Amino acid sequence: MSTRLLITLDYELFFGRQTGTVEHCMIRPISELKQVVDRHNAKLTLFVDAGYLYQLKKQVNGVSALEDDYRQIKNQLQSLVEAGHDVQLHIHPHWEDTVYESDGWQIDTRRYRLHDFSPDEMERIVGEYKQALTDIVGDRVFAYRAGGWCMQPFDKIGDALHRHGIWLDSTVYSRGYSPDDIRGFDFRGAPEQATWWFSDDPLQNQTEGRFYEVAITGCKVSPLFYWKLALQKKLARGAYKAFGDGQAMVANSAYYRALLTRPSYSVTSIDGAKAGLLEQSYRQLNREVENPIFNVMGHPKALTPDSLQRLDRFLQRHPELESVTLQDFKSQRPA
């Protein structure tokens, strides 16, 4: 079997002081990306920040700017699905505490993880967010990606997802590790496989598990890359400037210092300069595993004209990759 290609995007605004606009963080970068993948007949899978959709719909009443945002997103998602792309569930529960005021969304990320909510609340959140997405794209949602990779411990989140018919996850990446106390995750020790089944612990391969993991492809990154990245961010303009026009959450500086001093593991991504690692990551891909998958992620808001060009060249050089979406995994679903 040839190596399958997944391009999985977290479709969302920024969560810092400025969320940025729907036009620049979502609509425009996706339409540019679509032009690139169309040239190679490749398909996209969008993990849509459905908490945002839920809150947008709740607060839309008579606010024409919000009505406009909702309509644009709805049109884009529906036309993507019609063209054979896929749309699945991404959850950032801090939308529970976020309100819209005349000067924009007042983001409150104090409850950033699903773990900050009770099991009953988790179940309500998963149900309502999934519904907000289903309202737009119909009954096709069965896969999940955790906001900020925060999915551990998984047992209670798993119960909530399971109850709402979610059975596929695509959050884990090989050797991923972020030591943050509040927003950390630790995927070291995940199975060295493209896919596996699990129940309450995403790192424990369990044949009869409730969830099917389709891991994001990891990539070993040298400190030099992050030095260059830091420099490039300072000088970002022209083709290196991201489409998104908002501000990211404040990052954990100790973590960034660690990236600058020793090799680390990242997701394979088409965000900005990370797209420069596509070829290297593809070379590193473990082809010993059964049915290898090159699962490249990204964020529309973080794409740049340069990163799209790099993806274009990568796809051109690798016609052997078989492009799929998560809909192509539906046959895996347990009876």
CB of 149 to Zn ion, least distance (A): 9
Q: Which of 5, 6, 9, 10 binds Zn ion (CB under 5 A)?
A: 10
271 binds Zn ion (CB under 5 A): no
The dihedral sign for the CA sequence 192, 196, 202, 208:
negative
Block residue for tokens 């796809």: 315
Judged by CB, which is closer to Zn ion: 236, or 249?
Answer: 249
Question: What are the residues whose beta carbons fall under 8 Å from the beta carbon of 75, sequence distance 6 or more?
Answer: none
Q: Which stretch binds Zn ion (CB under 5 A): 10-18, 134-142, 158-166, 210-218?
A: 10-18
Judged by CB, which is closer to Zn ion: 4, or 301?
Answer: 301
Q: Which stretch binds Zn ion (CB under 5 A): 12-20, 176-184, 253-261, 286-294?
A: 12-20
CB of 238 to Zn ion, least distance (A): 26
Q: Which stretch binds Zn ion (CB under 5 A): 94-102, 117-125, 143-151, 301-309?
A: 143-151
Judged by CB, which is closer to Zn ion: 25, or 122?
Answer: 25
Q: Which stretch binds Zn ion (CB under 5 A): 68-76, 131-139, 142-150, 311-319?
A: 142-150
147 binds Zn ion (CB under 5 A): yes
CB of 64 to Zn ion, least distance (A): 27
Judged by CB, which is closer to Zn ion: 37, or 297?
Answer: 297
How far apart (Å, rounded) are the C-alpha atoms in residues 58 and 63? Answer: 11
86 binds Zn ion (CB under 5 A): no
CB of 187 to Zn ion, least distance (A): 16
Q: Which stretch binds Zn ion (CB under 5 A): 31-39, 144-152, 195-203, 318-326?
A: 144-152
Size of the site for Zn ion (CB under 5 A): 3
CB of 146 to Zn ion, least distance (A): 8
Instruction: Name the residues that contact Zn ion, by CB under 5 A.
Output: 10, 12, 147
